[in-house]
Structure 1
Amino acid sequence: MSLLLAVDVGNTNVVLGIYDLSKGPDSPLVCSWRLATSRERTADEYGVSALALMRHQGIEAGQIKHVAISCVVPPLHPILMSLAKNYFGVDAFYIEPGVKTGVKVLIDNPAELGADRLVNAVAGIEKYGAPLIVVDFGTATTFDVINAKKEYLGGLICPGLKISADALFQRASRLPRVEIAEPERLVGRNTVQAMQSGIFYGYVGMVDGILDRLLDECPEAKIAATGGLGHVIAPHTKHIRQIAPDLTLDGLRILWFRNQGSGRK
């Protein structure tokens, strides 16, 4: 069995996904795992964790023939490259400027675009078509806009839901840290309920407000959500109907196939 290990490195989580390459470019995700991102972890620590998770699913290191990586944490770049080489014996395919994507990036400095946002755009176009708005609920919440010509126009970056909640806890001495979840009622009857309702519906309102404005400029756009908190917020918004939690991993699989034969490592 020839497998692709897709690695999405974010500021909060490292997400690992396995694809069976024998099933072709549209191969579904076999399984995935989520680890906490730590800049202090070594390649060996990440490697041992990855091997343990794979063995739990009956997957051996020798079955991994290729590794594709998207990383927005620069210090982890060499660590993940070492992981691919030392534990799977391959040179990783790394998402960086020069990779063939099929998407024209129209922002002022394309090199500034986060790898995850580019990968999401590629996967979103493949899955939903264009024009498209991708909302990624991660450490930051990002809105990425692709026009009908499949050109990446740019987007918005907002503080993520957890960052917003943590800021409230840290800056208000009498307010406790609360769980991020859909509240039982809109009007809270105690401090915790009031905070949960304010954080949750305040964030839903922000997302809806931004999407209202984006749809004024691009009314035909489809909207898709991804990211760790996408399933929490998206169902309560006015506009988001598509939720794709594995969009970034799927984008890595698409780009790996798209770049085969190009001589890139």
Structure 2
Amino acid sequence: MKILLVDIGNTTADFRIWDKSKNSLTKIIRPETTDTKWRRSTVLSKYFKDNKIEFEKIVYVSVVPEWNDILRAFGANMKVEIFNLRSDFEIEKELFEVDDINKLGADFIANFYGALDKHNIETGAIISMGTASTIAIIENKKFKGAIICPGLKKSLNALISSAVLLQNNTYEKSNKAYGKNTIDAINVGAYNAHYLMLKSMINNLNLKTAIFTGGNSIDFKEDIEKDGFVFDEELIFNGLIKFNK
């Protein structure tokens, strides 16, 4: 069986095929969530049909309500069943020690189940570096709470958006300790310092185990593994897979 797994985040819509018989995950497309071209079920249907990409059902997690209708129309066009993590699967509420699980982001839930199922996490942190950088605190296999920080790219854009001379430059993770020019200084402050902030939060929580995921975590894969943490770019999809084994 092939299942189309979809992660709708605030920045991108990530489509991947999970082949259940081979337990393999294949990347398909990842347009920006706000891209008007892809915010149409007919365009999605045409892409999958033209490229002969077949699947038997759709399972998705979304933090963007508008995309729920798009995906359900897409499922209808493709004549397959479609399932939403939050509303169509049984979530074990006793595992979430939060004020109101109905107000907890679906991405937190998917990442939590992915960490339990794939990494057997008992106590530690799940750090997702996306539009926001989030830290989920896990204790004795229960979701205890979370910390939400402005994301790396959002913080960087907020810094340079009000300074015209800073906008037409490329910014990236730096191998320098500090900058001797403005670009290098921003690279260290926006990229390197963001990861160090997250690492400091983990240490402040006295947690030894941490799993990093999310689009921006890829830039820090080497640092994450060097620091003894786990890098898992597919974590949220493993959470979806857990409900379909």
Give TM-score, length-normalised by structure 1: 0.82
Does residue 243 in structure 1 map to residue 231 in structure 2? Answer: yes
Q: Deviations 1:155-212 (Å, cap 9, x if unpaired)?
A: 1111110000000011345433543422242222222111112112221221122111
Residue 225 (structure 2) pairs with residue 226 (structure 1): no
RMSD: 2.1
Residue 38 of structure 1 deviates from its aligned partner by: 2.0
In structure 1, distance between residues paired with 2:45 and 2:171: 31
Mapping of 1:38-57 within 5 angstroms?
Answer: 38=34, 40=36, 41-51=39-49, 55=51
Separation (CA, whole Å) in 2 of partners of 1:113 and 1:39: 26
Name 1:260's counterpart in structure 2. Answer: none
**1:33: which partner in 2?**
29
Structure 2 counterpart of 1:131: 123
Question: Is the alpha carbon distance of 1:164 and 1:43 closer, same or farther for their aligned partners in structure 2, counting shifts above 3 Å?
Answer: same
Structure 1 distance, partners of 2:227, 2:49, is: 40
Q: What SS does structure 1 have at the residue aligned with 2:166?
A: coil
Q: Quick check: 2:8–2:62 contact (8 Å CA) kept in 1? A: yes
Q: Which residue of 1 aligns with 2:183?
A: 192
Rate the CA distance shift 1:214–1:50 in 2: closer, same or farther, 3 A.
Answer: farther
| Distance apart, 1:93 and its partner CA | 1.0
Work out the CA distance in 1 between the residues paired with 2:169 and 2:202: 27
Against the structure 1 CA distance between its residues 13 and 240, is the aligned structure 2 distance closer, same or farther, given a 3 Å change threshold? farther
SS across alignment from 1:35: coil
Give 3-state SS (helix, strand or coil) of 2:148's partner.
Answer: strand
8 Å Cα contact 1:144/1:156 also seen in 2: yes
Q: Distance in 2 between matches of 1:121 and 1:177?
A: 38
What is the 5 A alignment of 1:63-82?
64-82=55-73
Q: Name the counterpart of 2:135.
A: 143
Distance 2:161 2:201 in 1: 26
CA distance in 1, matches of 2:219, 2:131: 14
Question: 2:58 touches 2:80 (CA, 8 Å); kept in 1?
Answer: yes
1:80-229 superposed matches below 5 A: 80-87=71-78, 89-97=79-87, 99-102=89-92, 104-129=95-120, 130-148=122-140, 150-215=141-206, 219=207, 221-229=208-216
1:20 and 1:204 map into 2 onto residues whose CA distance is 34
Quick one: distance in 2 between partners of 1:184 and 1:194?
11
In 1, are the aligned partners of 2:134 and 2:149 still within 8 Å (CA)? yes
Q: Which amino acid aligns with 1:91?
A: E
Listed as ranges, the matches of 1:18-29 within 5 Å are 18-23=17-22, 27-29=23-25
Structure 1 49/179 Cα, relative in aligned 2: closer, same or farther at 3 Å?
Answer: farther
Residue 95 of structure 1 aligns with an amino acid whose one-letter code is L
The one-letter amino acid of 1:253's match is I
Q: Is the 2:3–2:58 contact (alpha carbons within 8 Å) kept by the matching residues of 1?
A: yes
Q: Tell whether the 8 Å contact from 2:171 to 2:186 is kept in structure 1 after alignment.
A: no
Residue equivalent to 2:244: 256
Q: Deviations over 1:208-261 (max 9, x none)?
A: 22111222xxx4x5211111111213533575521111111121111233xxxx
Assess if the C-alpha contact under 8 Å between 2:56 and 2:81 holds in 1.
no
| Deviation of the 1:135 alpha carbon | 0.4
Q: Name the CA distance, whole Å, in 2 between partners of 1:207 and 1:111.
A: 26
Q: Is the 8 A contact 1:4 1:67 kept in 2?
A: yes
Indicate conservation of the 8 Å contact 1:141/1:160, yes or no: yes
Aligned residues: 240
